[in-house]
Structure 1
Amino acid sequence: MAPIKVAVLDDYQGISEPKFRALDPAKFDVSFFPNTLPPYHHPGTSHETRDQIVARLEPFEVLCTMRERTPFPADLIARLPNLRLLLTTGNRNLALDLDALRARGIPVAGAVDRAHAGSVGSVSTTEHCVALVLAAARNVAQDDLAVKSGGWQTAPAVSLRGKTLGLVGLGRLGTAVARILGGAFGMRVVAWSENLTQERADQAARDAGLLAADGGGAGIRAVGKDELFRAADVVSLHLVLSDRTRGVVARRDLELMKPTAIFVNTSRGPLVVEEDLLDVLEQGRIRAAALDVFDLEPLPLDSRWRTTKWGEGGRSRVLLTPHMGYVEESTLDAWYDQQVENLLRWEKGEELSVKLC
């Protein structure tokens, strides 16, 4: 009997390889594709590239993917007749058309971050968000480049103490960021989302240790969207991407921001109208942006983001990281362990853990 053909996609750090190579080669024929191709369903993806994606994936019975790095829309799934199992990471992946996979009878299983109470890299993402806020406020990237290039100090840093943090979204991640920046750095916290009430903001503040049972403490104030963008010295996005939230931040919102403000996005690129954000930053209308996520990932080589001219000629300062919010060694290590575990369960006909469909 021929071994099961398995493809491991988009493992940039190579963490999966020793785990999958330890499988019995008589049962599993594993291939690795560490470079992500453009998304199949993106408007800019050519027919030739789509055919290249199909040619890469079509031979395999099992596909192991990392978060949303390779999306699987219905059109792509229909072109993969050999696919029998799809393994992803996290307990949610909006880049998978689960209805199309379910209709084909293809089981899908995720993987959770057991080290952090089942959260999906939330501790790592929180730390990364706070690191970006601090780096943007303290000019870390610019000063590092200056020293390495033979220069010395650049522009003065700004303090966060007493400044206003505006959270667009106040779920688990937004509350965690409020706990750190409000509690440790003394920032005032305001928040907005479509359904946020002051009652829910008070509960989040209690969870973050910013509001005592007797009402003492700074708390978190629920405000309107316009007020948040006008008042905040730091705006940080913490929403789940959906049809309702896609493009929720656009030019009008960004142009309300103070010229000294910092904009941070560690959630998802399409929450923001990217062209509007680029225009605002190229015009230098705010102090800085710190971004971990983009409309199209990885960024094309000719992307407008890929320039060292940020901070020059009247442009805002821009700090970029390549979607690293969840990319923590222990988390990825645990996720790939669970993918191997689920592969072995499936091969034996056993129930999958963290089954999505």
Structure 2
Amino acid sequence: MSAPIRVAVLDDYQGISEPKFKALDPSKYEVTFFKDTLLPYNHPDTPQDVKDKLVARLEPFTVISTMRERTPFPRELIARLPNLKLLLTTGNRNLALDLGAFAERGIPVAGAVDRAHAGSVGSVSTTEHCVALILAAARNLAQDDHVVKSGGWQTVPAVSLAGKVFGAVGLGRLGVAVARIMRVAFGMRVVAWSENLTQEKADEKAREAGLPVEGEDGEKTFKVVSKAELFRTADVVSVHLVLSDRSRGVIAGRDLEMMKPTAIFVNTSRGPLVVEKDLLDVLEQGKIRAAALDVFDLEPLPLNSRWRTTKWGQDGRSQVLLTPHMGYVEEATLDAWYDQQVENLLRWEKGEKLVQTLY
């Protein structure tokens, strides 16, 4: 009798995958779950001993299940995993995987789509989370919750979003979805910028979203402006860009310094889109009202991270609301993703065609 196939399931913090993988025939599959995420192999701050620890963890396994971009698989790491024969990921795009290196090794990479939301990869969930962060920052929900639970009462007043300016940095699917909500629900005026965005494209996106190209006042529904004008005029700046070599660090201190003292900065896209040190400096000096962040340069946040303090909102600092990359972490979505991972694992073992392959 042949030895069971060794399977590693990485970074499933909620344990949603466990009943699915544990239901596999134990005579065929030996499954190990790793809930703690080690530092990324390709991060400049990752020491060699941690890289070696990651390799030692993964090297014995024939199949690895990973959750989107939580554990990156660069070429250098893939080269150190001689036993790997199948990589299962969630979503139908994972920029943390070197697909070329997997292809060269002949290792299939199978994704999974969000059947819970008509094939989108958690986009509805991310939109809801972004809007929740904007409202929470404007209404001081995190700070007020802490104050009341600590025995206090009112501290600082909330701000209204009605009629204010919403600045979308990026007007793709998620940018449009959030901008539409903020305009329709709160009457916010929307300005938008990205490197290749034109007014013609923005008008088309407004039509696709079921909105008029212009309001009754003749102003564009999604008004394309320069990057500088967006940061100078927006009351809420929300980031909706895809991370790439070109977009990395696209928002830096010179942009953040232009924001209104009353403005709110929101990022639910990717941490490295923003120069993190510059954002921290602006917030620690209290130069804007608040920031609401779901993503960071390094995830999970190290315990000694400058973000990990309860002093935000005190002694002149801006208010800061943090969530642990929860934008797409919705139970129905994750449940569907892991169902598909197990389905692909069984297909692979039988020699059948995989679904949602990434190359």
Q: TM-score range by the shorter chain?
A: over 0.9
Distance in 1 (CA, whole Å) between partners of 2:18 and 2:86 is: 19
The reply on whether 1:7 has 2:8 as its aligned counterpart is yes
Distance in 2 (CA, whole Å) between partners of 1:213 and 1:156 is: 33
Q: Where does residue 262 of structure 1 map in the other structure?
A: 264
Cα deviation, residue 210, structure 1:
2.9
Superposition map of 1:276-315 within 5 A? 276-315=278-317
Q: Where does residue 89 of structure 1 map in the other structure?
A: 90
Cα deviation, residue 307, structure 1:
0.3
Distance in 2 (CA, whole Å) between partners of 1:126 and 1:305 is: 23
The AA in structure 2 aligned to 1:312 is: Q
**CA shift digits 1:80-126 (9 cap, x unpaired):** 00000000011110100111111100000110001212110000000
Q: Where does residue 177 of structure 1 map in the other structure?
A: 178
Q: Where does residue 160 of structure 1 map in the other structure?
A: 161
8 Å CA contact 1:285, 1:316 repeated in 2: yes
The AA in structure 1 aligned to 2:331 is: E
The reply on whether 1:135 has 2:136 as its aligned counterpart is yes
Distance in 1 (CA, whole Å) between partners of 2:282 and 2:352 is: 53
Cα deviation, residue 147, structure 1:
0.4
8 Å CA contact 2:214, 2:221 repeated in 1: no
Distance in 2 (CA, whole Å) between partners of 1:289 and 1:332 is: 27
Distance in 1 (CA, whole Å) between partners of 2:213 and 2:108 is: 46
Cα deviation, residue 218, structure 1:
5.6
Judging changes above 3 Å, is the alpha-carbon distance between structure 1 residues 212 and 225 closer, same or farther for their aligned structure 2 residues?
closer
The AA in structure 2 aligned to 1:208 is: A
Distance in 1 (CA, whole Å) between partners of 2:208 and 2:189 is: 16
8 Å CA contact 2:213, 2:222 repeated in 1: no
8 Å CA contact 2:215, 2:221 repeated in 1: no
Q: Where does residue 30 of structure 2 map in the other structure?
A: 29
Distance in 2 (CA, whole Å) between partners of 1:342 and 1:300 is: 33
Cα deviation, residue 256, structure 1:
0.6
Superposition map of 1:192-341 within 5 A? 192-211=193-212, 219-341=221-343
Judging changes above 3 Å, is the alpha-carbon distance between structure 1 residues 321 and 214 closer, same or farther for their aligned structure 2 residues?
closer
The reply on whether 1:111 has 2:118 as its aligned counterpart is no
Distance in 2 (CA, whole Å) between partners of 1:343 and 1:99 is: 21
The AA in structure 2 aligned to 1:46 is: P
Cα deviation, residue 353, structure 1:
0.6
Cα deviation, residue 207, structure 1:
2.4
Q: Where does residue 71 of structure 2 map in the other structure?
A: 70
What is the aligned-residue identity percentage? Answer: 78
SS at match of 2:206: helix
Instruction: Using structure 2 for the length normalisation, give the TM-score.
Output: 0.98
Say what the alpha-carbon RMSD is for the aligned residues: 1.2
Flag structure 2 segments of 5+ consecutive residues without an equivalent.
none
Cα deviation, residue 258, structure 1:
0.3
8 Å CA contact 1:175, 1:208 repeated in 2: yes
Cα deviation, residue 257, structure 1:
0.3
SS at match of 2:112: coil
Distance in 2 (CA, whole Å) between partners of 1:328 and 1:25 is: 29
SS at match of 2:261: coil
SS at match of 2:245: coil
Cα deviation, residue 212, structure 1:
5.6
8 Å CA contact 1:182, 1:210 repeated in 2: no
Flag structure 1 segments of 5+ consecutive residues without an equivalent.
none
8 Å CA contact 2:66, 2:90 repeated in 1: yes
Q: Alignment length, in residue pairs?
A: 357
**CA shift digits 1:277-302 (9 cap, x unpaired):** 00000111000000000000000000
**CA shift digits 1:250-273 (9 cap, x unpaired):** 000000100000000000000000
Distance in 2 (CA, whole Å) between partners of 1:112 and 1:307 is: 36
Q: Which of 335, 340, 346 lines up with 1:344 in the alignment?
A: 346
Distance in 1 (CA, whole Å) between partners of 2:163 and 2:128 is: 21
**CA shift digits 1:121-156 (9 cap, x unpaired):** 000000000000000000000000000000001210
8 Å CA contact 1:206, 1:219 repeated in 2: no
Moved more, 302-311 or 197-206: 197-206
8 Å CA contact 1:210, 1:218 repeated in 2: no
8 Å CA contact 1:179, 1:209 repeated in 2: no
Distance in 2 (CA, whole Å) between partners of 1:196 and 1:177 is: 17
Distance in 1 (CA, whole Å) between partners of 2:187 and 2:196 is: 26
Distance in 1 (CA, whole Å) between partners of 2:168 and 2:211 is: 15
Cα deviation, residue 204, structure 1:
1.4
The AA in structure 2 aligned to 1:57 is: L
8 Å CA contact 1:175, 1:207 repeated in 2: no
The AA in structure 1 aligned to 2:97 is: L
Cα deviation, residue 217, structure 1:
8.0
Q: Where does residue 151 of structure 1 map in the other structure?
A: 152
SS at match of 1:72: coil
